[in-house]
Amino acid sequence: MKALLKVGYGCNEHCTFCHTQDVRHIDGSNEEVEAKIDRAKALGHTMVVLSGGESTIRPEFFSWARRIASHDLDLGLVTNGLVLAYPDVVERLIDLRLRYVYMSLHGGEARVHNRLVRRDSFDAATEALRNLSGRGLELTANCVVTRQNVEHLDALVDHVAPLKDVRLKFSWVEPKGGAARLDTLVPPLERAADAVMAALRRWDETTGRSGWAVHGGFPLCALPGFEARYDDLRTHGYWTMSEIGEPDLFPVDDRNKSKPPPCEGCALRGGCPGLFNLYAQRHGHEMLRPRRDGVQSNSVNFVYEHMLTASYREAEPCPVWSASARPYDRARHVFVRHGPKVGRYRALSRDFDDDQLEHMKFVAGQLYLDASRKAAPDDFARDLVKLERSALCRDCPAHDTCAGMFEPRFEDVFGRDDEPVRAHLRSLRGEVLDVGCGEMPYADALEPGIDSGAVRYLGIDPDASALRRVGDRLPRAELHAGVLADLDAGRTFDHVLVLRSWNHLPDPDAFAQRVRSLLRPGGSLLVVDNVAFALARTPAQTRRAQSSTARWEHCRNDDDARAHAALARSGLELTERRGIEPERSNQWMLLYTRAR
């Protein structure tokens, strides 16, 4: 886990787009940097990355490198690389555990690169990359894409491609500092994205090493086909960072970007950084092309990292706050207390963004301890233990900023929330259509009515193998392998069921438009499904889940509000609604009737 420490903003280049153009005169004191190196060690980081400005021009640079190594930590640099053009400096730093270099190179020829950095430094930067390549380092050459170099990216590909073990990254320039003048330095999103995609294709064709050329700063929908090649601080393993003058290390985040309304429901949302705030303010978001196809995960793993304390007692101060909650990520960390033990867990997944994770934890209250040995829990009442915010957090002044401490609630919230569903299913009579019946989660409630003949059941599902399992359980059921459009036009039912399959429907609006015609007057529609939830797991449980054959099958993770917004257009009357609340399970229910 990396910590990024800014040591000051002075630099021996003067890039046109420099983020810190207005504060170049500010440098951190030696004491501040040393204290933050020590803090990174105390927090359990494995690497300290020095950045600026340009950290290598500071007279204390080598003493900081020695201090990092003395803590048994690796050294990393974010740098323009000019000092690394000297082979003896590189050797000295490798001896001090230099393992990571993120180096600037903004063109494949001197006239392009030098124009951006406003110094004759292309040859030195190239020599630095040659000195570093093939040394077993985690090495990235980063090109900031501006109006000045956007038409010259192919030359950079050709320049870097022959070097060994060098990743090439194209970063859309952030409208900040020197680049705040959007019309001067920031190329339009579409133009920059097209140029980067062309450069990535050239890299792939030239080298055959597709994973070694990546992009950053772009909303994912702008680079179709290259979504998996996104690269940022988190993909590099950063946990915290600190600017000069900040009192502590703080979690890395994407708060300089936002996701406007079109991003809601986009299949790419979880791993997408969004759109730079200033760019969106100036140019709007009409250029975004959110993806509505594809599948999504319906859960996220918070993986155990560290025992904060094994001996906490009620009378003592909160162990999270007393350890200083500032470095802990409100979205991606969680602390779980069980008796005297308090463990720290962290989510590294990009399936969900920070806003979604915070909503999952603090608003919906859908965080669970995985008590099973299964790759994918399938009996939630037995496999999962609900976690709820500790009473210790209630009056804490950091309640709304801290990652929070959670404790197990030993109650079968799933069985309790399932009972109204089962009661409705047991009451059914007549012809019943079950849309997406393959998982058959409520076979025990439907079975008596089907066996007695009171329910004439038709189950439809595109998965023929799942239907065979349903047939083994319910031999008197009529089953059809297909989709709703396959049903005979004009066929109607007394009841329609969508039981944990709403979020599998590829087009809920189309279903809402048709469902009224499927129901006879007085008939009912029951829709039940789950929102996304978080699981606190051990590393072994997480590895087991990630190596399993469990598939992503959700097209969305709608809650009852989103589902009702679609079904309201059906013309059916909503008669019962059970939404998501922190003290309940992650299951919601909607019941509609068709007027007689």
Q: Are residues 75 and 202 both part of a single domain? A: yes
Contacts of 181 (CB under 8 A, 6+ apart): none
| Domain co-membership, 430 together with 418 | yes
Contact 6, 28 (CB under 8 A): yes
DSSP line for 504-555: G-S-HHHHHHHHHHHEEEEEEEEEEEE--EEEEE-HHHHHHHHTS-----BS
Cβ neighbours of residue 175 closer than 8 Å, sequence gap 6 or more:
182, 185, 186, 276, 278, 279, 282
Q: Answer whether residue 150 is part of any domain.
A: yes
* Burial bucket for residue 129 (CB in 10 Å: 0-12, 13-18, 19+): buried
Assigned domain for 47 exists: yes
Please state, in angstroms and rounded to a whole number, the distance separating the CA atoms of residues 189 and 169: 17
Start-end of H helices in 171-311:
182-185, 189-207, 277-283
- % of the chain surpassing 90 pLDDT: 78
Assess whether 72 and 56 both reside in one domain.
yes
Look over the chain and give the mean of its residue pLDDT values, rounded to a whole number: 93
Q: What is the pTM of this model?
A: 0.90
The rounded Cα 210 to chain-centroid distance in angstroms is 22
Domain C-terminal end among 412, 441, 471: 412
Same domain, 164 and 76: yes
Same domain, 359 and 436: no
Binned at pLDDT 50, 70 and 90, residue 489 comes out as confident
Q: Number of folded domains in the chain?
A: 3
User: Is it true that the peptide bond before 53 is cis, omega within 30 degrees of 0?
Assistant: yes
Residues 333 and 277 in one domain: no
CB contact set of 363 (below 8 Å; sequence gap of 6+): 582
H or E segment to which residue 155 belongs: helix 153-160
Residues 357 and 452 in one domain: no
Q: Could you give the CA distance from residue 8 to residue 217 in angstroms, rounded to a whole number?
A: 23
pLDDT score of 466 = 87
pLDDT score recorded for residue 596: 75
- pLDDT at residue 30 above 80? yes
The beta strand positions in 177-313, using DSSP E, are 213-216, 238-242, 250-251, 257-258, 275-276, 299-309
Question: What number is the average pLDDT over the span 131-156?
Answer: 97
Tens of pLDDT, residue by residue over 551-562, are: 677 888 999 999
Statement: residue 159 has pLDDT above 90: yes
Same domain membership, residue 115 and residue 20: yes
CA 317 to chain centre: 32
**Residue 544 is assigned to a structural domain of this protein:** no
**For residues 145 and 66, what is the distance between their CA atoms, to the nearest angstrom?**
35
Instruction: Give the integer Cα–Cα distance in Å for 217 and 340.
Output: 43
What count of residues does the chain have? Answer: 596
- Return the pLDDT at 224: 95
Domain boundary among 369, 390, 412: 412
Q: Give domain status of residue 587, yes or no.
A: yes
CATH number at residue 442: 3.40.50.150
- 84-117 b/e (C-beta count within 10 Å ≥ 16 → b): bbeeebbeebeebbbbbbbbbbbbbeeebbbbbb
In one-letter notation, the amino acid at residue 445 is: A
pLDDT in tens, 392-402: 898 888 899 89
| Tokens representing residue 594 in the block | 């068709």
Evaluate whether 345 touches 357 at the Cβ level (below 8 Å): no
Segment 140-148 shows an average pLDDT of 97
The residues facing 221 across adjacent strands are: none
The reported pLDDT for the residue numbered 58 is 96
Name the nearest CA neighbour of 487 among 431, 559, 435.
Answer: 435
Predicted confidence band at 199 (pLDDT cuts at 50, 70, 90)?
very high
Q: Residue 379: its pLDDT value, please?
A: 86
- pLDDT tens for 295-342 read 888 999 999 998 989 998 888 888 888 777 789 999 999 999 998 999
Q: pLDDT (tens digit, 9 = 90+) per residue, 241-289? A: 999 999 999 999 888 899 998 898 898 999 999 999 999 999 999 899 9
Classify residue 540: in a domain, yes or no. Answer: no
Q: What is the pLDDT of residues 434-486, one digit of tens each?
A: 999 988 889 999 999 999 999 999 999 999 988 898 888 889 999 999 988 88
Q: Over the stretch 505-529, which tens digit does the pLDDT of each residue have? A: 989 999 999 999 999 999 999 999 9
Residue 259, domain member (yes or no)? no
* Whether residue 279 is found in the same domain as residue 326: no
Instruction: Convert the pLDDT of each residue in 168-198 to its tens digit.
Output: 999 999 998 888 877 789 999 999 999 999 9
**What percent of the chain lies above the pLDDT cut of 70?**
100
Cα–Cα distances (Å) from 125 to 102, 113, 117, 121, 184, in that order, read 12, 10, 11, 6, 25
6 plus 145 within the same structural domain: yes
pLDDT value at position 24?
84
Q: Over the Cα atoms of the chain, what is R_g? A: 28
Quote the pLDDT of residue 323. Answer: 72
Q: Is residue 346 part of a domain?
A: yes
Interatomic CA distance for residues 104 and 146, integer angstroms: 14
Of 383, 412, 441, the last residue of a domain is 412
| Tokens found for residue 317 | 């101060």
| Same-domain pairing of 120 and 25 | yes
Instruction: Please give the residue range of the domain that contains residue 423.
Output: 414-530+551-593
Check whether residue 418 and residue 408 sit in a common domain.
no
CATH number at residue 72: 3.20.20.70
- Quick one: DSSP state of residue 225? T
For residue 382, is it within any domain? Answer: yes
Per-residue pLDDT of 8-22, as tens digits, reads 999 999 999 998 888
The CA distances from residue 349 to 174, 279, 385, 512, in Å, are 24, 27, 21, 33
Mean pLDDT confidence for 366-370: 97
| C-alpha to C-alpha distances, 160 to 198, 202, 226, 347, 400, nearest whole angstrom | 16, 12, 20, 34, 46
